[in-house]
Amino acid sequence: MKANKKTSNNDPKQFAALDIGSNSFHLIIARLVEGQLQPIFKFKQPVQLGEGLSNRHLSDAALYRGVEALRQCAVRLEGFHRDTVKVVATHTLRKAKNRKRFLAEAAKVLPFPIEIISGREEARLIFRGVAETSSESTGSQLVIDIGGGSTEFAIGKNRQPKFLSSRSIGSLAFSKEFFSSGKITPKRFDKAVVSARQHVEPIANYLAEHQVESVFGTSGTIKAIYQWIVKRDGEQPLGITYSQLQGCRTDLIAAESLKKLNKEWVSPERRESIAGGVAVLLGIFEELGIERLVPHDSALREGVLYELAGEVLLHQDVRERTINSLAQRYSVDSAQAQRVLSTVQQIWGSVAENWGLTGQDLEVLLEGAAKLHEVGLSISASGVQKHSGYILAHAYMPGFNAEEQRFLSTIVRYFRKKIQTAEFPDLILFSQNQLIKMLIIMRLGVILNSDRQNSSSLDKAVIEDGALKLQLKGSAKEDSVLTMQLESEANVMQKLGYELLVC
């Protein structure tokens, strides 16, 4: 299936999603046809990025393979607008301590930012990919995705996930841990299955109280096991059963090593990870009591694609729903949050272009900071900024990638009191200067509404000769407390390299 190499920047009806996985990189391009996404190009490159992860550091060879795969993807994405392409990375880059090096090299060949997503966010997007492309969308579903480094579980109904979990059991990781020499014995296999069962126990506890009607399996590992069964048995079953999996286990043990396994059953790209994959799936079957699992073609990349299209065409930003949900959960004072939001948006509108803060992502993050900066009040009013920052750093926030969440939690952590730039997180998608400017806007928004009254203190904000100038309304000029707060903030800004003038 081929796609046009060049795509018009003005065509909002084509979208692309790139999944940087531990085993393979997957690119999918689709166009919108009568409200439905129609895939027009799929590209898979076996990279085995996770195989090069040693002591949580990517090897030079793995890094090179990954960058070369991205170079090929970039060719297919020439002409695409940044807003119509989303690139996500999963387990291996979540774990790699030298991921900044990989991302820096990737940026040289791929003109789109790479978002490293959490395991739970990965599970949510996988579930969406299955739900959007499955005819069985009304009953309760369990979706299992076995990757190279982790396995994601999602349970939901009516296209809405209710339970999400990511466990550190993957086909490549288990193959390296239990079958590193390629030798396969009953003892090694049993140890791998028991380990998988122990990791999956939390999902079993949830399922004990929530029955599911169908079980879907995504990812290359499950598809490879299914194709193995088809080739071995000479027929195409409706899914994978426990007895068929046991047959795969018997075949592996009988072969004694991966080198002796029938080459027609498993492709060369999957051979190094297949033993671990079978062990993981067997452990899942046994612990969860699964009778049959149906392989499904859609997975993470499709979920990313549908979410991206919804954001661009229908303005459905999952992050905004997440912000509102957290505000409600922690009983935030919505009136005060709205006052702060109105003020920061007013300042933003005056300084964003001059300060290089344009972009929908930054606007959403500023909205999140305004609406959620007081979530820590649910713990204590003393040190509220610390409590709020901690909550947002550790909460599950659907729609936010790992860096966006760190960025947001940092703004909230320092919305008042002393700023410690040495504790700022490392950033790749954003710059430190952007973080500081956003923090300045947020802090001023809080100060200008410290009286918690509905009347606004700010008349207008402008950038004048490089300085941020605030013009207050008449009554606010006479507020000695506000004047003192702004004078103190001017000193804070001066240390950060910015000038604040108030009149």
Q: What share of the chain is helix, strand, coil (3-state, %, to 5)?
A: 50, 20, 30
Q: What is the CATH number of the domain that holds 100?
A: 3.30.420.40
Residue 138 and residue 107 in one domain: no
Which of 184-198, 302-316, 375-389 has the lowest average pLDDT?
A: 302-316
Which of 97-106, 351-360, 480-489 comes out lowest in average pLDDT?
Answer: 351-360
**What whole-number distance in Å separates Cα of residue 389 and Cα of residue 446?**
15
pTM of full prediction above 0.95:
no
200 and 344 share one domain = no
The string of pLDDT tens digits covering residues 192-226 is 999 999 999 999 999 988 889 999 999 889 999 99
d(CA 348, CA 155): 40
pLDDT given for residue 221 in this prediction = 92
Does 279 lie in the same domain as 149? Answer: yes
Flag whether 179 is in a domain.
yes
Q: Is the dihedral of CA 232, 233, 235, 237 positive or negative?
A: negative
Burial 9-41 (b: 16+ CB within 10 A, else e): eeeebbbbbbbbbbbbbbbbbbbbeeeebebeb
- pLDDT, residue 185, reads 93
**Cα 493 from Cα 503, distance rounded (Å):** 17
Structure confidence at residue 23 as a pLDDT band (50, 70, 90): confident
Domain membership of residue 484 (yes or no) is no
Whether residue 457 contacts residue 476, with contact meaning beta carbons closer than 8 Å, is answered with yes
Within-domain flag for 416: yes
Domain shared by 165 and 83, yes or no? no
Whether residue 482 lies inside any domain: the answer is no
Residue 439 included in any domain: yes
Picking from 264, 296, 328, the residue at the C-terminal end of a domain is: 296
pLDDT, one tens digit per residue, over 462-490 is 888 888 999 998 888 888 899 999 999 99
Residue 164 is part of which domain span?
Answer: 134-296
- The number of domains in the chain is 3
For residues 105 and 142, membership in a common domain is answered with no
DSSP code string of 195-236: HHHHHHHHHHHHHTTS--SEEEEESHHHHHHHHHHHHHHTS-
Residue 162 covered by a domain: yes
Residues 154-180, mean pLDDT to the nearest whole number = 92
Same domain flag for 288 and 144: yes
Cβ(53)–Cβ(27) below 8 Å: no
Q: Which of 305, 288, 336, 322 has its CA nearest to residue 456? A: 336
CA separation for the pair 80, 69 (Å, rounded): 18
**Position 404 confidence tier, pLDDT thresholds 50, 70, 90:** very high
- In this predicted structure, what is the pLDDT of residue 199? 96
Q: What is the pLDDT of residue 3?
A: 39
Distance CA 335, CA 345 (A): 15
The reply to whether 479 falls in a domain is: no
